[in-house]
Amino acid sequence: MDLWQLNIFCKVVELKGFSKAGDAIHLSQPTISSHIKDLENHFECQLIDRLGKKAVPTKAGELLYHYARKLIALRDETQAAMAEFQGKIKGRLVIGGSTIPGGYILPKCIGAFTTVYPEVTISLIIGDTDQIIQDVLSGSPEFGIVGAKTSNKNICQENLIEDEMRLIVTGDHKWADKKHINPDLMFKEPFIVRERGSGTLKSIKLSLKEKGYASENLNIVAEMGSTEAVIQGIKSNVGVSILSTIAVAEELKAGTLKALTIKELNLKRNFYLITHKQRSPSPICKAFIHFLKKEFFDV
């Protein structure tokens, strides 16, 4: 067993396939299979179940993945620390972002950062808020940016940026010419929600609860696993939804979608920078967070 084999194993788990893992790290599928087989022989147990075209970790595989991510993170941290000792910022950094930060904010930050520090490679994990919090706790990403607070005592969190959510409708919707509507109207309209664990959904429920409304009374017609899917659902007239204006900025500019405020509801929220309380940030992590705050959020 070596770190390279563990890295291959993690890629198979994360990409849920041998071929996809091979494409990601430029190895043939037989080579990937051979390395996984070597690991299974080493630990004397099956690590991956082959379910059709999908590769899924067994219980033993889930346990190994948990520790493998920690070992790989420690390797990256070691390389970064040695580079910093030599006065350089170089190496690999893994960060996490919930749907809005991960899809619409962090990519721009990463592009700007790697222009300044070309010897840095950044891996971005995107998931819902709950997943990114769990990933930070497990030690894979060094930090994350998420759309809701957590009560977990092992997580440090700080406000990073304010976001505004609005009711999003198509450009030809009956409300398209309005600037705002009453909440009662929204409850009668077909409504699309994000999946459980989403920071957006948590914020919507909290805003409704603060004004005495029950989110269960929304006329929910669809639950979708990503913001992009919700946007496409709105465009296809499946229903309306409450989304971050950051996510639909291009559509709002083009006029294909419209954003309305909802009377009485405070739909402003914060994105939070989260780190593990017991983990010391690597030099690259420190540099990226400093760059993030200074260049983008003026914190």
pLDDT tens per residue, range 168-181: 999 999 999 999 99
Fold of 1-87: Arc Repressor Mutant, subunit A (1.10.10)
How much is the mean pLDDT over the chain?
90
Delimit the domains of the chain by residue range. 1-87, 164-268
Q: What is the DSSP letter of 23?
A: H
The DSSP code for 239 is -
144-165 per-position pLDDT tens digit: 999 888 999 999 999 998 889 9
Of residues 280 and 17, the one with the higher pLDDT is: 17
For 191-250, the pLDDT digits (tens) are: 999 888 787 888 888 889 988 998 889 999 999 988 999 999 999 999 999 999 999 999
pLDDT band at 32 (very low <50, low <70, confident <90, very high): very high
DSSP per position, 126-185: E--HHHHHHHHHHTSSSEEEESS----TTEEEEEEEEEEEEEEEETTSTTTT-SEE-HHH
The confidence score (pLDDT) of residue 238 equals 97
Matching CATH topology for 1-87 and 164-268? Answer: no
Is residue 56 classed as helix, strand or coil in its secondary structure?
strand
Residue 204 and residue 218 in contact, taking contact as beta carbons nearer than 8 Å: no
Can you read off the two tokens belonging to residue 105?
């904010």
Contact 167, 259 (CB under 8 A): yes
Is the backbone of residue 179 left (phi > 0), alpha (psi -120 to 50) or beta?
alpha
Q: Which fold has domain 164-268?
A: D-Maltodextrin-Binding Protein; domain 2 (3.40.190)
Question: By the 8 A CB rule, do 270 and 162 touch?
Answer: yes
The predicted pLDDT at position 230 comes to 95
Residue 82 has pLDDT above 90, yes or no: no
Residues 101-120 have pLDDT tens digits of 999 999 999 999 999 999 89
